[in-house]
Structure 1
Amino acid sequence: MKQKLLMLLLLGSVSLFANEAAASGGTDIIPRTVNFLIFAAILYYLAAEPIKRFFQERKEGIAKRLEEVEAKLKEAKEEKAQAEAELKKAKELAQEIVETAKQEIEILTKEIKEQAKQEIEMLEKSFEESMELEKRKRVRAITKEVLEELFEEKALELEKEKFVNLIVKKVA
């Protein structure tokens, strides 16, 4: 209702002052100024509050979006810091694993070398024992052969010294 009344007042004053200046032949600066001031007052009365509300809402919306962006930025920085900390921990863990692996390799290498050395010693000992056994077998076989030859030839009687020399020659 107020708006209709103001519109009627505005239109009435505009028509009142607009005709007077043209009829008198003078300047119409004062009526135009009055008309403009009335128009500006009515416009302010009708549009000021919605315009203020619009800009206030816009200001609040921008502030809200700015806060959201700042919150996301802060969250992103925290995630970045956390990721960097996890990366640092992962690098340290990887370094520890590498060092542990190197130590284990060193220990295993020593153990394998020691086992190989022991196996070689056992093989050498076994070879020496085998050679000694073969040597004994040969000595026994030769001794047996010599004794069999001597016993087969009963006609040949030898003295003990000759007998021993003969055995020594066959063995050597």
Structure 2
Amino acid sequence: MRNGLYLLGLLFAPCVLLASGGGDYDIIERTINFVIFVALVYYFAANAIKDVFKARRDGIANSLAKIQEKLQDSKKAKQKALNQVEEAKKTAKDIVEAAHKESAIIVQKIEESTKNELENLVRQYNEHIAFEQKKAEKLVVDEILSEFLNKDSIALSKDVLIQSLLKKAA
């Protein structure tokens, strides 16, 4: 409203300035015609101008509402992403725990299998030593038998030979 008064004051300022000059100027009529013209334009175009500004205001409000919606959507998407990150962290933690448990189980199984393998190797070694002892005993017995049997001068009975062999083997 204040701006309108300033506008009218500016419109009538030339009238006041030129009114004192006694010349033949039609400034007053022209100013009145201009004011009437502006009033008619305002009367007929005011609704159209108001509609334009209202449409502009509504457009701005709509774009602001869309921006608010996008902002809310992005906040929801951010929250969803944060939730997914938390779930992924929990899943990763569970996977790491499971891997540690599995590695402990695998280590235990490897230790057990190594222990069993060592026991088998010791048992095989002992069996091999026993086998080699029997083999050595057999060779000694064969040597002694061939030594006694090859000598013509000594004639022994089977009982004596068996007794001597048993003494040698023991």
Q: TM-score, normalised by structure 2?
A: 0.72
Aligned partners of 1:30 and 1:149: how far apart in 2? Answer: 165
Matched, 1:85 2:89: no
Aligned partners of 1:137 and 1:165: how far apart in 2? Answer: 19
Aligned partners of 1:151 and 1:26: how far apart in 2? Answer: 175
Equivalent in the alignment of 2:102: 104
Offset, 1:153: 3.3
Matched, 1:60 2:58: yes
CA RMSD between the two structures:
3.3
Letter in 2 for 1:130: H
Equivalent in the alignment of 1:47: 45
Unaligned runs of 5+ residues in structure 1 are 1-20
Unaligned runs of 5+ residues in structure 2 are 1-18
Residue 132 of structure 2, aligned match among 131, 134, 156 = 134
Aligned partners of 1:148 and 1:84: how far apart in 2? Answer: 93
Q: Percent identity?
A: 37
The Cα offsets for residues 102-155 of structure 1, whole Å up to 9 and x where unpaired, read as 110111011012101111110111111111111012112212322342344354
Letter in 2 for 1:120: L
Equivalent in the alignment of 1:14: none
Equivalent in the alignment of 2:71: 73
- Which secondary structure does the structure 2 equivalent of 1:156 belong to? coil
Letter in 2 for 1:79: A
Offset, 1:38: 1.9
1:19-58 equivalent positions in 2, closer than 5 A: 25=23, 31=29, 34-58=32-56
Aligned residues: 150
Higher RCO, Cα 8 Å, sep 6+: 1
